[in-house]
Amino acid sequence: MRFQAKTAFSRCEKFCLRGIFVMTSSVAAFTGAAVPKLIAPPPVEPPGPGEVRCKTLLLGICGTDRDILESTSPACPVGSGFLVLGHECLARVEQVGPEVTDCEPGDLVVPAVRRPRQQDNESSDQIRRRVDMVPWGNYVERGIVAEHGFSLPAWIDRPEFLFPVSPEIKDTAVLAEPISVSEKAVREAEQIQNARLGDEWQRQAPRVLVTGLGPIAFAAAIVCRARGWPVTMYGRDDPDSFRAGLVTSFDCDYVHEGVYDWALADVEEDGFDLILECTGNDVVMMQAAGTLASCGILVWEGSTRLPQPCQHNVAEIMRAGILRNHVYLGTVNNAPVDMGRALEHLVSQRPRYGSAIRQLVTRQVSVDESLWHYQNREPQGVKTVVVFD
């Protein structure tokens, strides 16, 4: 079933929500504009049958939000000239409609981003795929593709798109969405390797390289450390910087681009079995590919928004891929199992890495203070979170 957000937007700065006047704002991307704008959020009706009304508590600002703005052509809902941003969300259930039994008022939830789009021809094999595997045009993504996001004080959803959150991780659950993206990357690499090599990674932990020091990179470190795997993180930051120090807080090794030598003397001895490329930089990707040991897997978790032609010796990684049985994997979004596991990781890793995980939220701002962060990154920032409540 396709879910259509209820978004009858008002031009007023005040709106009436069940008889209560609320002064607040939402952040939206407009067609033809690279600058986000504050708008008045919509009045939210009581939930209907099978629906839930949720209140946004925390909202993460993501590189995807910045890409949408930079494009000046957001994928707006039908009939709208703007897209309400925000897809990394922690919310509280406020009211449930008739026939809802899976949640109740007061529950903490994280909403799914991608949902299936209703099709005229649902017999297609592509439509029957898991929603994170269907091609463009067969899904909507709240705050990204054709549905308004969660930069709203309140919104309507369906319980099948809401993941329950334990109260003990209320302070970090807003990170579940980026963690789930890296969880999918690692889970699929595991499944491929299990099909090829049996339980080799279970018997001997793979050596992991994570490139980058952004939210997805730290998310990759979290899901690998949750498995007990040794992780090396590569970045441009000075070793005495905040983010480099955060790497060691997760018991990972840090290598700095200024001193790291990609030309390994013995790739089998000193290379990596799994590389999670999180920079989206083709130069870094090519360099990292040269450190992939035999039967290794490299997963692309990022890319540039508008790729430009570059000169690279692709034939070199092609030959290495043949001789060493490499696998290159691209991944985006998540499956429901990945969001569930992300939330499990936040709970299970709290005793050991809870402090480090909380430090990933490097800035908290109000909605009105958030506009600069939708277009800019702080030099040592990881995740900026908008506080609604």
Distance CA 218, CA 260 (A): 19
In this predicted structure, the answer to whether residue 174 has a pLDDT above a threshold of 90 is yes
In this predicted structure, the answer to whether residue 1 has a pLDDT above a threshold of 90 is no
Strand partners, 52: 96, 157
Integer Rg of the chain from CA: 21
Residue 337 is assigned to a structural domain of this protein: no
Q: What is the pLDDT of residue 244?
A: 98
Task: Show which of 330, 348, 376 is a domain's final residue.
Answer: 330
Q: What is the pLDDT of residue 338?
A: 98
In this predicted structure, the answer to whether residue 226 has a pLDDT above a threshold of 50 is yes
Same domain, 61 and 42: yes
Residue 125 is assigned to a structural domain of this protein: yes
Same domain, 253 and 290: yes
Strand partners, 38: 27
Residue 121 is assigned to a structural domain of this protein: yes
Give the tokens for residue 219. Answer: 């998310």
Q: What is the pLDDT of residue 306?
A: 76
Same domain, 167 and 203: no
In this prediction, residue 10 has a pLDDT band, given cuts at 50, 70 and 90, of very low
Same domain, 96 and 219: no
In this predicted structure, the answer to whether residue 17 has a pLDDT above a threshold of 50 is no
Same domain, 212 and 308: yes
- DSSP category for residue 260: -
Q: What is the pLDDT of residue 332?
A: 84
Same domain, 194 and 204: yes
Distance CA 340, CA 347 (A): 11
Task: For residue 300, give the nearest of 216, 243, 207 by alpha carbon.
Answer: 216
Average pLDDT over residues 93-103: 96
Q: By the 8 A CB rule, do 367 and 151 touch?
A: yes
Distance CA 142, CA 160 (A): 14
In this predicted structure, the answer to whether residue 5 has a pLDDT above a threshold of 70 is no
- DSSP category for residue 310: -
In this predicted structure, the answer to whether residue 181 has a pLDDT above a threshold of 80 is yes
Same domain, 85 and 108: yes
Q: By the 8 A CB rule, do 333 and 129 touch?
A: no
Same domain, 285 and 367: no
In this predicted structure, the answer to whether residue 4 has a pLDDT above a threshold of 80 is no
**Tell me, what CATH number does 209's domain have?**
3.40.50.720
Pairing status of strand 162-164 against strand 108-111: antiparallel
Q: What is the pLDDT of residue 284?
A: 95
In this prediction, residue 12 has a pLDDT band, given cuts at 50, 70 and 90, of very low
| Domain residue limits at 199 | 178-330
For CA atoms 295, 296, 301, 306, give the dihedral sign. negative
Distance CA 164, CA 112 (A): 11
pLDDT in tens, 22-51: 446 999 999 999 999 999 998 899 999 999
Displacement of CA 242 from its chain's centroid (Å): 22
Residue 21 is assigned to a structural domain of this protein: no
Residue 354 is assigned to a structural domain of this protein: no
Same domain, 88 and 157: yes
In this predicted structure, the answer to whether residue 21 has a pLDDT above a threshold of 90 is no
In this prediction, residue 177 has a pLDDT band, given cuts at 50, 70 and 90, of very high
Task: For residue 102, give the nearest of 166, 165, 167, 159 by alpha carbon.
Answer: 159
Split into its structural domains, the chain has a count of: 2
Same domain, 55 and 131: yes
Distance CA 370, CA 254 (A): 31
- Which string of DSSP letters, residue by residue, matches 227-242? TT--EEEEESS-TTSH
**Tell me, what CATH number does 93's domain have?**
3.90.180.10
Residue 255 is assigned to a structural domain of this protein: yes
Task: Show which of 312, 330, 348 is a domain's final residue.
Answer: 330
HSE-CB at 61 with a 13 A cutoff on CA atoms is 31
